[in-house]
Amino acid sequence: MAFLRSLYETMLVFVLFMGCTLVFYYGIMWVSDEYDRYHRYDEPSGRAVKVIGQVQEESVYQEALERLRLFYLNGE
């Protein structure tokens, strides 16, 4: 009798574990599906302004040198 009760309780825990696992899995799949439908790289609507323009190669090089100099100057 004790063996059957132990087996019954084990099966109950197993079924509860599988149920929670399935709920968690399908919850994650639902959230993932919601984010897949979200198009974050679409062009904005309304009166959006482009903030990034063309940068000349020399200014990038000078800016990198200035940042490196500030890095060594501040000791960070």
Residue 30, in any domain of the structure = yes
The boundaries of the domain holding residue 11 are 1-35
Q: Which residue has the higher pLDDT, 57 or 17?
A: 17
Instruction: List Cα–Cα distances, 37 to 5, 12, 23, 30, 31, in angstroms.
Output: 48, 38, 21, 11, 10
Which residue type occupies 24? F
As a whole-number percent, the residues of the chain with pLDDT over 70 amount to: 88
The DSSP output letter for 3 is: H
In a domain, 11, yes or no: yes
Query: Regarding predicted confidence, which is higher, 70 or 13?
Result: 13
Number of domains in the chain: 1
46 lies in some domain: no
Give domain status of residue 45, yes or no: no
Is residue 7 over pLDDT 70?
yes
Report yes or no on 63 lying in a domain. no
Interior CA angle at 66 toward 63 and 71, to 5°? 125
* Residue 24, in any domain of the structure: yes
pLDDT (0 to 100) of residue 29: 96
